[in-house]
Structure 1
Amino acid sequence: MRTCARCWGRGAPPFRSGMLLLLVPPFVFTLQLFVAGPRLPPASGVGAEEERHGAVVSSVISIDPKKNSRQPVHRRPGLEEDVGAEDWERRNEDENEILTRQMAPRTLELMPWAADKESFTAELDRIMVYVPRPQINCSRVLYPGQAQPSLPPPADSPRWMLCADDWLLPAVDRPCVAYSFSMDGGDSEFLKTVSVLGCEVHTFDPSDSNASSGHRGNSLASTHGDEGVVRQHKMWLEWRAPRKRKHKTRGSLGSVSQTLADIMAALGHHTVHFLYADLLSAEWRVFQSWIESGTLQSVHHLVAIMHLQWAGFEVGGTSEEVLRYWFSVLQGVKASGLMLVHSSPGEGRGVLKKSVTNAHSSYTLSWVNIRR
């Protein structure tokens, strides 16, 4: 015991030295963690910036000595393929294209059947209630080729008209944009009217060998400030949405067939104040695509020839189903904010290859957007 007491009594300093020796390795190890810790690669972490954009960033280390660097690979939740730098540049696209792409996708809603069972007569009668009846009255109108607004026409009216009430026309000090899609020259009076209004006018005709007026092929170039000048383009409308949308640059689309949204983006237009369309029976699918994409909401005045002789491009089904589809498209136009201003019947009395007495084979309809 005395020996132990001496050990404890005399051994105090050696004990403290021993304790210090025992504490040095943990202290050094801890110091190494603090120093080396920030140099460690992040473990599948998500940065604040990436969280805001909804992307996950992971580190990939290349085994190639020339590429021995950590490069972030961006993945959007729910997608398996990597999104490269080109895709991330889409964030810098112009406001019009972003707005079009951000709109929630929706499908044209088919209206209920007009009768308890499928009926050609009932479906056609429902369309004929819609087509000839204006949904809005204009105090002043513009006739085809007319330079100044006037009072609404009598019953025997021209083929189309534009509502010229002040709140529906573009402001005098603002740019005015007009598009025309026609292959038979039937838009000459429309072009004259919008030119007199001082609009920047663009015509689209894939069969016109002289198209583009100085522009090569089907290229597009904005002509802001060229009031009243008609620019021609060898191009036509596409109603099928592209499977994989690529970045579009202004003035270059690379195809003779493009959607209205892409044409507007290439020309730098957010709004089309006046649009004329004679699409030769493709109007039903084109209108459906405009409704579903929301593009139709960017059109203020619309004049279009609606063909009833046959179902139209890529429209199938029984006659009753086609008539129901047509009526649904017309209701979709109305739901987009466009109200019918004028209706003018064309020649012929055939609807879906059937002779009828209460309808014509085509109608020229004029709409105005009251939600602009």
Structure 2
Amino acid sequence: MRSCARWWGRGSPPLRVGILLLLIPPCLLALHLLVVVGPQLPRASWSGEDRQGPEGSVAFTVLSIEPERNRRVDPSQRPAAEDGGRREGAGAFEDENEIHWRQVGPKTLEMQPWAVGQPSFTAELGRIITHIVRPQLSCSRILSPGQAQALPPPASSHHWMLCAEDWLLPAADRPCVAYSFSMDGRDADFLKTVSGLGCEVHSFDPSNSNTSDGRPGNSLASNHSNGGVVSKHKMWLEWRGPRKRKHKTRGNLGSVSKTLADIMTALGHDIVHFLYADLLSAEWRVFQNWIESGTLQSVHHLVATVHLQWAGFEVGGTDEQVLRYWFSILQSLQASGFKLIHSSAGEGHSVLKRRVTNAHSSYTLSWVNTRH
């Protein structure tokens, strides 16, 4: 190319034009060889700032403009796939990310915008109540409290229900696991139902004086060979990460608290098919832990009571901020694939210590994980 430019500066104008016409074909041929043959040359096995090869030879770097196939996708930026299916035409790397999304969910809680663009107690409470009283999935067959036989939905409402559609229940030849976290003894019907299904059942209550085998303490012993038998554990749910946990003294209630992931690991469970939780206002932080840790995707059926009379453990801010936080938790549950199938209102009409007429102090909600 330099020789082409050098000849251009010599001779008279007519001569220059003639020379130019003669040099165009070889110059185009040289350019063609660089574009077509160059990328096919063996790649250099050395590296360095000057890109010099052995004995002063030049190593060429070929730049690719193809899409970056190994780019990590921020789960918080992924739109929730309501149908849980794969997108048509997606590549293999997208399928892997979809699987990863289903398994771990979002890594951080995404706060929702204000209901009306600015703080408003009435607007924030209104959208929460609308969200938790409208089922998102209809079940043709259900398991009601105390019953292990699937039946059509009754005319009267129950305290909770489990969806008994075939695609949501564990296969008959597969082990079934159920957990219950309750301190008020209202889980008796739940324990009866899942025991009747032949599940491996574990009941967690920090007030238990003995475990199921008579040993005191907070031992985590499984009952893999005794389907339907309830193992009782003196243990409660922790929602703080290891670095955020406060120092616990011996005999303190916190000394027997573990995260759901820790409990599942200790018991050797990858999946909890049925989980019942009445956490006495600790549910909001526990839900956040499950969402951010990805543990939520290991739960198939979730029955939980949410308490609205006060903010809850380690939840602060103005009333409007608390309501916005609660709604963000509920939205994250939905974004993780959990669909509400039943809602039952509790007693009282107090929300954040305010008397209200259009809401109750607690609700027992039944969800199913449509992405399991």
TM-score for both structures, normalised by structure 2:
0.68
Deviations 1:193-247 (A, max 9, x none): 00000000000000111234334411112221211000000000000011299xx
Q: CA deviation at 1:274?
A: 0.3
**Which residue matches 2:170?**
170
**Which residue matches 2:360?**
360
AA aligned opposite 2:107: R
Query: What is the distance in 2 between the residues matched to 1:342 and 1:244?
Result: 34
Gaps of at least 5 residues in structure 2 are: 1-99, 246-253
Q: CA deviation at 1:335?
A: 1.2
Deviations 1:24-83 (A, max 9, x none): xxxxxxxxxxxxxxxxxxxxxxxxxxxxxxxxxxxxxxxxxxxxxxxxxxxxxxxxxxxx
CA contact (8 A) 1:212 1:218 kept: no
- Matched residue of 1:192: which SS? helix
**Alignment of structure 1 residues 21-32 onto 2, 5 Å:** none
**Which residue matches 2:125?**
124
Query: What is the distance in 2 between the residues matched to 1:233 and 1:212?
Result: 7
Identity of aligned residues (%): 74
**Which residue matches 2:225?**
225
| Number of equivalent positions | 264
CA contact (8 A) 2:191 2:201 kept: yes
CA contact (8 A) 2:160 2:342 kept: yes
Residue 325 (1) aligns with residue 325 (2):
yes
Query: What is the distance in 1 between the residues matched to 2:268 and 2:257?
Result: 18
Counterparts in 2 of 1:144 and 1:104: CA distance versus 1, 3 Å: closer
CA contact (8 A) 1:218 1:233 kept: yes
CA contact (8 A) 1:236 1:256 kept: yes
**Alignment of structure 1 residues 51-70 onto 2, 5 Å:** none
CA contact (8 A) 1:215 1:221 kept: no
**Which residue matches 2:85?**
none
Residue 160 (1) aligns with residue 136 (2):
no
Query: What is the distance in 2 between the residues matched to 1:174 and 1:283?
Result: 30
Residue 183 (1) aligns with residue 216 (2):
no
Q: CA deviation at 1:255?
A: 4.4
Counterparts in 2 of 1:123 and 1:104: CA distance versus 1, 3 Å: closer
AA aligned opposite 1:287: F
- Matched residue of 2:342: which SS? strand
CA contact (8 A) 2:209 2:217 kept: no
CA contact (8 A) 1:235 1:256 kept: yes
The higher relative CO (CA closer than 8 Å, separation ≥ 6) is in 2
Residue 298 (1) aligns with residue 301 (2):
no
The runs of 4+ residues in structure 1 deviating greater than 4 Å are: 102-105
AA aligned opposite 1:159: H
Query: What is the distance in 2 between the residues matched to 1:104 and 1:196?
Result: 32
- Matched residue of 1:322: which SS? helix
Query: What is the distance in 1 between the residues matched to 2:278 and 2:313?
Result: 14
- Matched residue of 1:107: which SS? coil
**Which residue matches 1:27?**
none
Q: CA deviation at 1:148?
A: 0.8
- Matched residue of 2:133: which SS? coil
Query: What is the distance in 1 between the residues matched to 2:149 and 2:174?
Result: 18
- Matched residue of 2:285: which SS? helix
AA aligned opposite 1:268: G
Gaps of at least 5 residues in structure 1 are: 1-98, 246-253
